[in-house]
Amino acid sequence: MNRFSISISIVLALSANTIFAKSTAPYLDDTLPIEQRVDDALSRMTTAEKIAIIHAQSKFGSPGVKRLGIPEVWTDDGPHGVRPEVLWDEWDQAGWTNDSCVAFPALTALAATWNPEMSRIYGVAVGEEARYRNKQMLLGPGINIYRTPLNGRNFEYMGEDPYLASKMVVPYIQGLQSNGVSACVKHYCLNNQEVNRHTTNVLIDDRTLYEIYLPAFKAAVQEGGAWAIMGAYNLYKDQHLCHNQYTLNDILKKEWGFDGVVVSDWGGTHDTDQAIANGLDMEFGSWTDGLANGASNAYDNYYLAQPYFQKIVNGEVGTDELDDKARRVLRLIMRTAMDRNRPWGSMLSPEHYDAARQIGNEGIVLLKNDGAVLPISGAPKRILVVGENAVKMMTVGGGSSSLKVQREVSPLDGLRASAPAGCQVDWVRGYVGDVGGEYNGVTTGQDLRESRSEQELVDEAVAEAKNADYVIFVGGLNKAAHQDCEDSDRAGLELPYAQDALIEALAKANPNLVVVNISGNAVAMPWVNKVPAIVQAWFLGSEAGNSIADVLYGAVNPSGKLPFTFPQRLSDVGAHSFGEKAYPGIPRNDGSNILDEEYTEGIYVGYRWADKQKLKPLFPFGHGLSYTTFAYGKITADKNEMGADDQITFTIPVTNTGSRPGSEIVQLYITDKKCSVDRPVKELKGFAKVSLAPGETKDVTITIGKDELSYFDAAAHQWVAEPGEFIAHAAASATDIKSSATFKLK
């Protein structure tokens, strides 16, 4: 069977004038509006050609229409960099020598900047790399909500709060698509765990769906103008989310007016009839059905290929749905490959490395700094770095976001390169974690095998720590299975590889201990009261070591804030408070492989749950320290009453009361004092980042309207803001409220 065309048997089944319709008229001028060009192209296409462009012809590509000069669509994984080229029908490497990239920080780090301008810079830079590689679509960004700290893919997402994720995703999309490369926002929706991801059916009420899990996707579509969205693997209302009537047709396309392409996740399609009717536009996958090893190069066997074509031939279905799908794909092509005005892009540029470093610098979060251990100061003679994560490459592995980089600066190399004059920086391993270094044919080239015992490594680290001015432990998670990795969830909240015992031993050996946690998830810290300084460093990509060194040595004053809550224990998380029915789901008794999972905690995710249950987090949402200090003045409003079509602006004076320049993220939370429905104690509804010189004061202004006061009325299926009293809180974190102001909605 020819993998590049519809099978001859199917072609012959349709009349010649349908398959080989001719057109001698000149193609429409590309200066005309896209919709005219799409209409013209669609009118010239045969049924066979329409079928061809809505499914893959290779691992990452779909065919165009050669006869009409319509080019192919080439996608590639993101969202942290452009994945290397793979073989036509395999995940392994194609063996190119010019497909290395710059790895940008993971999206958790981007979200931790709380800076939409960083998001725009990120989108532009990664878009330039994708454009240079001639990709029409980058598979990202990811914006699924952080529901549980066990989700192996949380590092690819933007945290637990829908408002923060909404504000951060929009400029990323706009920056990316300014290069003529489509964003493919993922994974729409309710894909909040990796365990049983193909077989979990989510049970959720409409209010929770609309208030927590949909806002960032809605913002991506209506504000960001995303050209593509990827469906999720799991099920909702017993339909897989790559072909789901409710989420794709009713919400995405009808309610939100999405005019782009719905792309299946690779292997996320399961049924031809549902794929036809329930909103899927382009099918991608692996082997025969994307899930099981079958016939190689079997793209014509995809659900939206020969099976769909045969149903049309047999008169079982019409072509209205096909025309809509083809129209959307053509619109995508006109916006990308056929836009002759799009820029050329660039690859591995100094500007991209600078962007990666800047984003990393702003995303690193200083969690604790008792005794001002940081920044490292004075004239230290010897710094001891301990931990496998200080040397292990983190850009390889973790699933589809695995990259082949031109270079990756390790924490150890970064700390050595920027060390104070005359300071020796030594390294000992301390623990053995993941000694692997390969993913889909990309290898790190590192040999991390170790013959010494766990105790021998600890003893060595402790002995060396006693003779150092500072000890920097670099540990946390990695990209191995059951850690921060696609297709598996973590086994628990604790650190792996006996790191807790090692940290305790180091704390006893040296009072100047700094723990640098590298992860995309919250971790338990039973030693938190014994360690003076803790830094959350995320997966920072190519410039990881330089960003960490910039912060630890004080070249950069940390300003990141947590985009999700660090709980004290797993039972402090809403998703883990109702037994297996809430996570990971309970198998049905009907002989199927489906598990039902009920989001029993409802709208109470992250800090909303901690507030409701009056729990004290290990570190709260929005928390992050600085090397300087800030004083907040009293919050004031430009009016104390607003109408339904009005806005209200709050002003918060902030002063840098320390001796270093620094940036503070001012957060605005809203409390509804009295409502006919249960509402969270408070919700984030605004934030702003302000940079201040020592002694400087600036007024931070944040404006809100009725939308920020509304809840979703499921019965009426609309957003409602009830008149009454509200409280606006100016805060440095979800638990650090500085002042409050009461106002009314008329």
Residues noted as catalytic: 265
In the three-class reduction of DSSP (H, G, I as helix; E, B as strand; rest coil), residue 476 is classed as: strand
DSSP 212: I
Compute the residue count for the chain. 746
- How far is the C-alpha of 98 from the C-alpha of 91, rounded, in Å? 18
**C-beta of residue 662 within 8 angstroms of C-beta of residue 656:** yes
* Helical H segments across 585-692, by residue range: 607-613
- How far is the C-alpha of 367 from the C-alpha of 364, rounded, in Å? 9
**C-beta of residue 567 within 8 angstroms of C-beta of residue 522:** yes
- How far is the C-alpha of 713 from the C-alpha of 707, rounded, in Å? 13
Dihedral angle over CA of 540, 545, 549, 555, nearest 10: -60
The tally of CA atoms less than 13 A away on the side-chain side of residue 660 is 14
User: 387-411 burial, b for 16+ CB within 10 Å, e for fewer?
Assistant: bbbbbbbbbbbbbbbbbbbeebbbb
In the three-class reduction of DSSP (H, G, I as helix; E, B as strand; rest coil), residue 134 is classed as: coil
**C-beta of residue 304 within 8 angstroms of C-beta of residue 51:** yes
Residue 420 CB burial class (10 angstroms; 0-12, 13-18, ≥19): middle
Q: Using only the alpha carbons of the chain, give its radius of gyration.
A: 26
161, 162, 172, 299 from 168: Cα distances, Å: 11, 10, 7, 36
**C-beta of residue 283 within 8 angstroms of C-beta of residue 304:** yes
